[in-house]
Amino acid sequence: MEKTNPIVGTKIDKSRIISLEKGKIPPQAVELEEAVLGAMMIDRKGIDDVIDVLSSDAFYDSKHQEIYAAIYELFQNSEPIDLLTVSNLLKKNGKLDFVGGDFALIRLTQKVASSAHIEFHARIILQKYIQRKLISISSEIIENAYDDGTDVFELLDDAEAKLFEVTQGNLKKSSEDAGSLVKQALKKIQEIGNSEGMSGLETGFTKLDALTSGWQPSDLVIIAARPGMGKTAFVISMAKNMAIDFGHGVAVFSLEMSSVQLITRMISSETGLTSEKLRKGNLEPHEWEQLNVKVKKLSDAPIFIDDTPSLSVFDLRAKARRLVSQHGVKIIVIDYLQLMTAGGKAGGNREQEISMISRNLKALAKELAVPVIALSQLSRAVETRGGSKRPLLSDLRESGAIEQDADIVSFIFRPEYYGMTEWDDDEHTPCEGQGEFIVAKHRNGGLDNIRLKFTGHLAKFSDLEESFSSEFQSSMNADVSPDHRIEPKDAFGDDDDDDMPF
């Protein structure tokens, strides 16, 4: 419908007027904010119900932000919270006049009679806050997407990181004062004391757990070795221990082996049946029964395997975020670092690319607050060196940045691989069927060389002191005859090739 404008004699398109946006108000629930703040000042129970749900940023009204911040400070200091104490603290901080004086605080307390529905109200306030954050993030993504100079992979990674923050409820201020950090540290120390000194995730290797107190959240752990030493065997044993024995969710990114090959190794380790028998399906009736019984635990274990080849660091971060948010994964394992690509940021030489990948892995560990375990190759310098051939930090392949970024750098060493029959110690201890987990760098703890038992035909590491049950021992004897025993380093057909790590 069109009509003539009597002033200028032109026709006005009404549909165009209707289609024009008249402006939008950000999502908000100011009345509920007032109800929540009033309830917190008249009922202590109300504070306990919402203090872990809301932050001061969740409030739309800046005056309400200041009032909540005062209530939160009183709560942190274990001081009484009521109309008078909140008013005094606001006055002390110079914010009382800004919020409207005592009259404004009195008005808030008069709006509610109790804290009966305070948690429900707080959830609505949080939802409105999340909506505002999503609008802000979306606007920023749109603006950056129109910029031709923006790296699209960097834009994708940044967008997903911000959305992951919203999903995880980690919308916190960028910095925290020393007082609140001290309280957090004391609380963590108390929790560690209650858990008998284990502050991280148990690996199932007794001496390693004693040294590290378990793998710590936000740590980047590098496990390096020459091909054939047992890097993959170690992380498979560790992942199985963590998932089956302790119930920790484990994500394994296998860039070399297929997911079926990897799970077959785990089945071999768990059941005591050799990988050769499992590949051929040549099992005796009692072995089929053994397989069906023991594989049940592995079937129920929270292990997630991704075998995407040539995985880029951006894809890894995206997949890891989803696994942490959707499946509660507690640790991420990458096998192995040199097979990853830099994705959209590729450029420069291989050393610079590896440096960028290691920095991103450390950033991922901090962002998700989970330990990231990355396997790495060692240079051939180990092979040409005389003596015990025990690896050194200088042997890390392709980039010194790996050593710099990592919180823990460790090596796996098996003298038996080089034809040695004894450890290079004063007692000349036999080294048959043994390996050494060498902690060469530990940013927050001590160093040590930890000896472990290595069962080559099962590709399994375990505690050296661990005694085998009669059932497990009998299965070993039945599986491998003396005339056809497989040497540890050749158990899975691996040779000394840089592109084929164990």
Domain containing residue 369: CATH number:
3.40.50.300
Same domain, 317 and 375: yes
- Do 263 and 158 fall into the same domain? no
Q: For residue 20, tell me if it sits in a domain.
A: no
Q: Is residue 177 a part of any domain in this protein?
A: no
Q: Is residue 264 part of a domain?
A: yes
Same domain, 90 and 152: yes
Note whether 365 and 249 are same-domain residues. Answer: yes
Which one of the listed residues 119, 160, 256, 276 is annotated catalytic?
256
In a domain, 108, yes or no: yes
How far is residue 34's CA from residue 49's CA, in Å, rounded to a whole number? 16
Residue 7: its pLDDT value, please?
A: 42
Residue 40 in domain: yes
Total-model pTM: 0.63
In this structure, are residues 305 and 257 in contact, taking their beta carbons and an 8 Å threshold? no
Are 58 and 156 members of one domain? yes
Residue 502: per-residue pLDDT: 40
383 and 314 inside one domain:
yes
User: What per-residue confidence (pLDDT) applies to 332?
Assistant: 93
pLDDT at 250: 92
pLDDT at 444: 85
Q: Are 148 and 233 in the same domain?
A: no
Asked if residue 406 lies in contact with residue 358, where contact means CB atoms within 8 angstroms, the answer is yes
431 and 380, same domain (yes or no): yes
For residue 102, what are the domain limits?
A: 25-169
| Shared-domain flag, residues 68 and 157 | yes
176 is a catalytic site residue: no
Question: Which domain-ending residue is among 150, 169, 188?
Answer: 169
Q: Answer whether 151's CB lies under 8 Å from 78's CB.
A: no
158 and 118 within one domain: yes
471 belongs to a structural domain: no
The answer to whether residue 158 is domain-embedded is yes
State the Cα–Cα distance between residues 270 and 236, nearest whole angstrom.
10
| Structure-block tokens of residue 54 | 């809301």
Q: Per-residue DSSP letters for 144-182?
A: HHT-TTS-HHHHHHHHHHHHHHHHHT----S---HHHHH
Residues 35 and 95 in one domain: yes
- The rounded average pLDDT for each run of 10 residues, N- to C-terminus, in the chain (502 residues) is 45 42 76 89 79 83 90 82 90 90 89 81 89 88 85 80 71 56 69 66 89 90 87 89 90 87 84 77 79 82 86 82 86 87 65 83 88 88 76 75 86 86 80 88 88 85 64 44 39 40 40
In this structure, the answer to whether residues 63 and 156 fall within a common structural domain is: yes
Number of domains composing the chain: 2
Q: What is the CATH number of the domain that holds 51?
A: 1.10.860.10
In a domain, 492, yes or no: no
